[in-house]
Amino acid sequence: MSDISMPIPNVHIMNERSQIIDRLLSELGEEIVIHDEAETIAYECDGLAAYRCPPLAVVLPRSTEEVSRTLKLCSELGLPVIPRGSGTSLSGGALPTADSIVIGVSRLNEVLDIDYDSRTITVQSGITNLGVSGEVSGNDFFYAPDPSSQLACAIAGNIGMNSGGAHCLKYGVTTNNLLGVKMVLMNGDIIEIGGGHLDPAGYDLLGVICGSEGQFGMVTEATLKILRKPEGARPILLGFDSSEVAGACVSDIIRAGVLPVAMEFMDGPAIIACERFAKAGYPTDVDALLIVEVEGSPGEIDEQLTKIKEICQRHDPAVMRESESAAQSDAIWKGRKAAFGAMGQIADYMCMDGTIPTSQLPFVLGRMQEMAKHYGLEVANVFHAGDGNLHPLILYNANIPSDLEKCEAFGADILKLCVEVGGCLTGEHGVGIEKRDLMVYQFNEIDMEMQLRVKDVFDPQWLLNPAKVFPIDITHARRNNNHQYKAA
């Protein structure tokens, strides 16, 4: 699957670039349209930086109405649209094509309502994930889904990808914390779905919008669940001589009825890289580290940690270090939070994101090391162990032309393995372009056809983020039948 290809840009659009820009400027105003190539280049990629292509233009609306006008115009002209939050997607979800208009929500970042009695917050979708928690933190509330990119990523992108985070084992992912959206359809229609109340009547459109990767409409506002912070939280660091044993320990903790808020796993290569980078005090002579965090009152925390230590003892741990202060807790998390940065210091890397049944953990980790040997590339694992969501980081050298290809082939093999053992291609990063061509390993034609028919409903013209999520040969007919450029 190496060398993921995007459709050839529409020649008519490319030929009439300047007329199109004139239309955008005259109908939308120059305050919100960016077309200078020196500036559009800032939007040429997302977090999957190996793939780049500046869009034809970028529009940054200041209101839902402006989003609506922009989409309506693009719909009339037949221009492909790439919705964009903060552009941190790791799967190429926000990657433009040369004939597309990027519509970004970065200017939509107001908080519209906070209702503590109902435990909801309503925001414009460009606000960052951490920004939401920041708004309510003073009152001891928080927004639960916490992707590691939370400082940068927008709620819009979180909804687009149905993002997760370290604390999802207990609190769920975006879809479990999203109560309503205001969304603009491709034709400019503004719809509202859900709200502060639970379980709206009718089909669960909100559920299928969340995670639709910008292919159904542009979300401009969202109502989110906020939660009261627990009285306290404390992590424990557990080190083991083998990944198998660490995996078994994870499963035993869950079986024992303890529900930690987080169970993060690091394998040998990841531990060494993180320790070198963050100096978190991790033991570097173990093969696997678990960070297990529990919450509650001081008594509840003690009791849970005691139980966890008992279980862990049965697995003969090499290290068992319970945090005794806020500073120690920070240190335990510091290495994990720096993982991506740490790996970036060593090499270029691709971050994979498959999920497996947790019972398959030892087998899959073992297979992965064999594959690493086969491809001659290193792989480090940092992931959410409680829910089986793996993040193998495959290290490669972008200056060696064949390395990226090898890395992608290796990544594809890992993801196929995830599917084979009963898991899936992506647990939280989305399909984007990265896993697009692997969809056939998880879904048969009918499974995909049913999904495509839902896109037909929301975006009959197939203009929204059109060449993503599904193999392009499968969507070819739909994209080309419907997506006809009309002269500007």
Partner 1 sequence: MSNIQYPNSEEEIAEIVGKANADATTIEIVGGGTRLGLGNPVNADMQLSTSKLSGITLYEPGALTIVAKAGTPLVEIEKALAKEGQHLPFEPADYRPLMGSKGEPTIGGVVACGISGPKRFQGGACRDCLIGVRFINGTGDIVKNGGRVMKNVTGYDLVKLLAGSFGTLGILSEVSFKVLPLAEKTTTIVVEGPAHSEAIAALSKAATSPFDPTGLAYLPADDKAARVLIRLEGFSNQLEYRAERVSELLQSFGTISRLDDKQHLDIWQQVRECSKFAGRAGSVWRVSVKPGDADGFLNRILNEAELEYFLDWAGGLIWVFACDETLGANGGSAGVTTILRNGLSGIGGHVTLVRASDKDDVANSFQPEAPGVAALSAAIKQQFDPANILNPGRMNASQVKAG
Ligand X SMILES: Cc1cc2nc3c(=O)[nH]c(=O)nc-3n(C[C@H](O)[C@H](O)[C@H](O)COP(=O)(O)OP(=O)(O)OC[C@H]3O[C@@H](n4cnc5c(N)ncnc54)[C@H](O)[C@@H]3O)c2cc1C
Instruction: Pick between residue 234 and residue 429 the one whose CB is nearest to ligand X.
Output: 429
Among 54, 96, 147, 354, binds ligand X (CB under 6 A): 147
- Both tokens of 331, joined, read 């240190």
18-47: which residues touch ligand X (CB under 6 A)?
46-47
Contact stretch for ligand X (CB under 6 A) within 19-27, 110-118, 151-159, 478-486: 151-159
Contact stretch for ligand X (CB under 6 A) within 132-140, 157-165, 367-375, 403-411: 157-165
Bridge partner residues of 193 (DSSP): 181
Reference 81, options 352, 384, 466; nearest CA is 466
Instruction: Pick between residue 78 and residue 214 the one whose CB is nearest to ligand X.
Output: 214
Q: Which does 191 bind (CB under 5 to 8 A by kind): partner 1, ligand X, none?
A: partner 1
Q: Which x/- pattern, by CB under 6 A, does the window 256-275 give for ligand X?
A: --------------------
Among 20, 101, 179, 218, binds ligand X (CB under 6 A): 218
Residues in contact with ligand X, counted by CB under 6 A, come to a total of 36
Bridge partner residues of 384 (DSSP): 264, 389
Q: Which does 204 bind (CB under 5 to 8 A by kind): ligand X, partner 1, none?
A: partner 1
Q: Which does 435 bind (CB under 5 to 8 A by kind): partner 1, ligand X, none?
A: partner 1
Instruction: Pick between residue 214 and residue 335 the one whose CB is nearest to ligand X.
Output: 214
Please, what is the Cα angle at 11 between 9 and 12, to 5 degrees? 125
173-212: which residues touch ligand X (CB under 6 A)?
none
- Both tokens of 42, joined, read 């800032």
Counting contacts by CB under 6 A, is residue 424 touching ligand X?
Answer: no
Which positions ≥6 away from 48 have C-beta within 8 Å? 89, 90, 91, 92, 95, 432, 433, 434
Measured distance CA(278)–CA(136) in Å, rounded: 29
Counting contacts by CB under 6 A, is residue 105 touching ligand X?
Answer: yes
First and final C-alpha spacing in the chain: 36
Minimal distance in Å, beta carbon 324 to ligand X?
27
Q: Which does 316 bind (CB under 5 to 8 A by kind): ligand X, partner 1, none?
A: none
404-423: which residues touch ligand X (CB under 6 A)?
none
Contact stretch for ligand X (CB under 6 A) within 89-97, 243-251, 372-380, 476-484: 89-97
Instruction: Assess contact for 262 and 169: CB atoms under 8 A.
Output: yes
Instruction: Assess contact for 159 and 213: CB atoms under 8 A.
Output: no
426-455: which residues touch ligand X (CB under 6 A)?
428-429
Among 20, 94, 179, 294, binds ligand X (CB under 6 A): 94
Among 160, 180, 335, 411, binds ligand X (CB under 6 A): 160
Q: How far is CA 37 from the centre of its chain?
A: 28
Instruction: Assess contact for 221 and 471: CB atoms under 8 A.
Output: no
Instruction: Pick between residue 215 and residue 242 the one whose CB is nearest to partner 1.
Output: 215
Measured distance CA(164)–CA(384) in Å, rounded: 10
Contact stretch for ligand X (CB under 6 A) within 11-19, 148-156, 239-247, 438-446: 148-156
Q: How buried is residue 252: exposed, middle or buried, by Cβ count under 10 Å (0-12/13-18/19+)?
A: middle
Instruction: Assess contact for 193 and 183: CB atoms under 8 A.
Output: yes
Counting contacts by CB under 6 A, is residue 308 touching ligand X?
Answer: no
Task: Identify the DSSP state of 74.
Answer: H
Q: Which does 47 bind (CB under 5 to 8 A by kind): ligand X, partner 1, none?
A: ligand X
Reference 483, options 200, 74, 53, 156; nearest CA is 74
Residue nearest to ligand X (CB): 157
Which positions ≥6 away from 103 have C-beta within 8 Å? 58, 59, 60, 61, 67, 70, 71, 81, 82, 83, 84, 218
Helix axes 243-255, 361-375, angle to 10 degrees: 150
Instruction: Pick between residue 38 and residue 446 the one whose CB is nearest to partner 1.
Output: 446
Minimal distance in Å, beta carbon 471 to ligand X?
17
Q: How far is CA 232 from the centre of its chain?
A: 27
Q: Which residues bind ligand X (CB under 6 A)?
A: 46-47, 82-90, 93-94, 105, 125, 147-149, 153-154, 156-158, 160-161, 163-165, 213-214, 218-219, 340, 428-429, 465
